[in-house]
A and B are shown apart, each in its own frame.
Chain A
C-alpha cells in the first residue's frame, strides 16, 4: 500500500505540473493583461506596471520565474488586482472558508442522501420510495441559483430565521450549506438506492436471511457494504461538483471563499490568482481521489490497488 501512495503522489505532482503549465500559457496567450482592463489608465502606466511585475519578459522567462518561486519557496506571487496582497495570503484566508462549506455540505448530503436511498431500496415501490425518489428528482432539477434565492426568501426574509449573507456565526452557514448540499444529496440518494437494490437481490443476501438474521442486520451489516460502493466512487466527482457549485453559492451569499475570487480573477485577468486557485483545486481533488481509491479498496476486498 505504501507503494501505491508514493506512486500516486508522484502522479499527482506530475499532473499538477502539467496543469499549471497549460494554464500558465493559456492565460498569457489570451488577449488582455491584468492592467489593460481599466480604460482610464494611460499606456505609460500600464507599461510601468507590466515591467514591475515582469509581465514584459519573454514567456519562457516568466514561466521559469514562476515555477522557481513556486517550487523553491511555495510562493504563488503577488495579486495584481489587490496591490500589497499575495496570492498565498488570499488563499490562506479563503481556502478554510471554502473547505468548511464544501466538507460540511458533503457530510450533510451524505447524511440526507444515504438514509433516503436505503429507505427507498428497502421499501421499493411503496409510497415512501416514490416520494423519496420524486423529491430527489426535484432536487436534481432545480439549479442552485434558483434554490438559493428561494430558500433565502422563505427562511431568511420571510421567516426571519436565518441571516442571509456573510459567514460569521454558525447561523450564517446553515442556508449556504443546505443549498450546496441538496442537489448532491439528491444524487447520493439515487445512487444509494440503485446500489442497494442491486445488492439486495443478490445470492448472499438470501443466504444471510436463511441464516436467520433480522432484516435490519441483513441490510446494515451485509447489504450496506456493497450497496454503498457507488457512493464511495462518487465522492471524488461529487466533491468536485460541490466545489464548482460553491462558485454560485459563494456569490449569492457573499461568502469570502475561494470560488468567489476565481471568476473575478479570471475576468480581471489576474493571472496569479487564477493559477493559485487552480492549483489548489487540482491538488485537493486529486488527493481526495487517491483517498477514495484507498477507501474503495478497503471496503471491497476483491479490488486490488492499482498503481497509477
Chain B
C-alpha cells in the first residue's frame, strides 16, 4: 500500500523532469499547481507553459508512469489554464540549474526595472550580449550570442 501523504507524493514527483531540459524538475519549472488526495486517488494539477508545448503531453505521461511505478493505481492529471503560468514561478534552484546547463535563466517579469535588458552570458557572465533570434529551439527559448566569448546561447524567455 503506497503512502498517501502529499509530502511523499511530492518527493516522488521530484523525479519527473522536463523532457527538453532534463535538468529541471516539474517543480523547478513551477508547473505543478496542486496535489489532491482523495482516499486512494491522487490528482495532480498542472498548468501548461506554452499553449502548444508538446512537452506537456510527455510530462503528463511521465507523472502517471512515475506514480504507477510507486504503486499508486488511481491517478488523475488535470491541466488548468488559469492563472496562466509565468517564469516567475520557476524556483531559484531551477534558475541556477539552468545556468549551469548553459541556458540563461529568465528574469523576473514583475517589478523588472529594465524589462528589455539583455541576459548575461551563462558561460562567461558577460553582460555584453546580443539577440540573434526571438525564437529558439523550443517555444520557451530565444537565441542570443555573447559579444565577449562569442558563444551563442539559449535564453529561457521571460513569460
> Do these two chains really belong together in a complex?
no
> Chain B: residues with CB nearer than 8 A to chain A?
none
